[in-house]
Amino acid sequence: SQQGEEDPQALSIQEGENATMNCSYKTSINNLQWYRQNSGRGLVHLILIRSNEREKHSGRLRVTLDTSKKSSSLLITASRAADTASYFCATAHIYNFGNEKLTFGTGTRLTIIP
């Protein structure tokens, strides 16, 4: 079952604008990761934020994590046509003698209009 829910389900913006996607989850986590998936391809890791971190940056990406609200957001600044893809948050949980499992959200489909 999907642990996270992403909001919005779909987002269309003009090239150059900023895109914000939100993710909510239900249980405690070890870390939260964001992935991008282009149509017909596998997932590409974008950024990982640990449970004791509140904000992280990587290039045009900014991720925040609020463990008290069990939510995260991904901001893509100065969007480009190549950013068109589906974006998934994934929460990492420790279970069963230290194994780590990723549980993915339902995804946000982002379309950048040139």
Partner 1 sequence: GAGVSQSPRYKVAKRGQDVALRCDPISGHVSLFWYQQALGQGPEFLTYFQNEAQLDKSGLPSDRFFAERPEGSVSTLKIQRTQQEDSAVYLCASSPTGTPSSNQPQHFGDGTRLSIL
Residues within the interface to partner 1 (CB under 8 A): 1-2, 4, 30-31, 33, 35, 40-45, 48, 50, 88, 90, 92, 94, 96, 98-107
CB of 50 to partner 1, least distance (A): 6
Instruction: Judge whether 102 and 33 are in contact, CB under 8 Å.
Output: yes
Number of helices (H) and strands (E) in the chain: give both, helices first. Answer: 0, 11
3-state class (DSSP) for residue 96: coil
Residue 10 or 78 with smaller CB distance to partner 1: 10
CB of 60 to partner 1, least distance (A): 18
CB of 1 to partner 1, least distance (A): 8
Smallest CA-to-CA distance from 7 within 105, 109, 77, 108 is with 108
